[in-house]
Amino acid sequence: MTEPLRELLGRFELQNAGPITAQEARRWGRGFVARLSELGVLREATPAASIRNEACEHACDMEPEVVTHAVTGERFGIHRCVREECGVVRVPLDDLRRWECDLVGFAGAVGRAVDAGGQIVVDVPGRLIEVGRIIAGDSWRDVFLARGLAWDDAATALADARRLKASDAPLVLALGKLPSTGVWPDCHPAVALLSDIVSLNGGGMAVDCTGVIGRHTKPHPSAIESKWITVTEAGEMLLSDVSGITLKQAMARVSRAGTAGKFTTNGKERQARRIDRASFSTWRLEQREKDLAECD
């Protein structure tokens, strides 16, 4: 892993991280920032109102006025420093650019890198994102991207992780430090540090899950004990495996498949219908394979 990528992962872990400045972007390399922006990991923020004058020995702050050249039409900033040795300073607008970390965008980049099925779902805003399902041989995992697992409020935040608790086999990729086992809401998902398995290549982002997909994962009791699930719950689960559909469309597909006997139901219709979780899980995997084949 390159040092800029390591620093960026650390930036996601800061609780009150400010925007990435143009000065930081130059240090990392504008190509690095541009690539991460294309991947959705970074998004451009509003320009800075002031910047540090790095050429001034007093390191004073500049609040440039944006003007347009009367002849060339070029736009740039002008700062009139009160210090005689500085005078009028011309500020390129590129020096005012800033970028923010985008957790949902990062989850999307990870999902593409691991070829995850389903859709990106925010489980706990700003903390936990469901990336989708990955399959390797006979093993499969529901992948989540998480930040702040070692923060003081981690257990409180994860208590509301409905998607995590509904997963039969969760795998959490942590952006920062590995958490203590006590943060999880009565479950023990497989956990891996993203920094150990992520890299950038010519094609974008690469995430190697081969060494972590087989790690032991213990789901929440509700994911095991609930033999019968509703059509809505089944539709939400199907969204993790099939891309390009809404929850309403997923529920309609589940209803049609249940009527056609593709999995076991309680024989009732509409709101009274319940679906056997085990047989539905088998059908879900078949739908995911079809979805992947269509994408190829």
pLDDT tens digits, one per residue of 139-162: 788 999 999 999 999 999 999 899
pLDDT at 178: 85
Do residues 189 and 83 share a domain? no
The dihedral of CA 214, 215, 218, 220: what is its sign?
negative
Q: Residue range 67-84: average pLDDT?
A: 76
With a CB cutoff of 8 Å and minimum separation 6, the contacts of 102 are 40, 41, 42, 43
Which tokens in the block code for residue 7? 């620093």
pLDDT at 226: 61
Do residues 187 and 283 share a domain? no
Please answer whether residues 36 and 116 qualify as being in contact, where contact means their C-beta atoms are separated by less than 8 angstroms: no
Please answer whether residues 124 and 133 qualify as being in contact, where contact means their C-beta atoms are separated by less than 8 angstroms: no
The last residue of a domain, from among 177, 202, 220: 220
Strands 170-174, 139-146: pairing kind: parallel
234: left (phi over 0), alpha (psi -120 to 50) or beta: alpha
Give the pLDDT band (50/70/90) at residue 99: very high
Q: Specify which residues 133 forms β-bridges with.
A: 117, 142
Do residues 81 and 107 share a domain? no
259 pLDDT more than 60 = yes
d(CA 285, CA 264) in angstroms, rounded, equals 15
Do residues 8 and 86 share a domain? yes
Do residues 156 and 216 share a domain? yes
Which one is predicted more confidently, 189 or 17?
A: 189
Do residues 121 and 195 share a domain? yes
Do residues 209 and 256 share a domain? no
Which tokens in the block code for residue 28? 């990392």
Beta strands in the chain (DSSP E): 20-21, 42-44, 51-52, 61-62, 65-68, 75-80, 88-91, 98-101, 121-124, 128-136, 139-146, 170-174, 190-193, 198-201, 204-207, 228-229, 275-276
225 pLDDT more than 60 = no
Which tokens in the block code for residue 217? 């994962």
32 pLDDT more than 80 = yes
Segments forming the whole domain that contains residue 252: 228-294
**Cβ neighbours of 5 (radius 10 Å):** 18
Do residues 74 and 170 share a domain? no
The last residue of a domain, from among 220, 251, 282: 220
Do residues 207 and 121 share a domain? yes
With a CB cutoff of 8 Å and minimum separation 6, the contacts of 138 are none
Which one is predicted more confidently, 74 or 99?
A: 99
Q: What are phi and psi of 68, to 5 degrees?
A: -120, 130
Cα–Cα nearest to 159, from 194, 192, 193, 128: 128
Q: Residue range 155-177: average pLDDT?
A: 91
For the chain, first and last CA: distance in Å? 29
77-87 pLDDT tens trace: 777 776 666 66
Do residues 287 and 246 share a domain? yes
Q: Specify which residues 193 forms β-bridges with.
A: 174
Q: Residue range 160-187: average pLDDT?
A: 88
Do residues 139 and 122 share a domain? yes
The last residue of a domain, from among 220, 248, 278: 220
Coil, helix or strand at residue 47? coil
Do residues 165 and 239 share a domain? no
- Domain count along the chain: 3
129 pLDDT more than 90 = yes
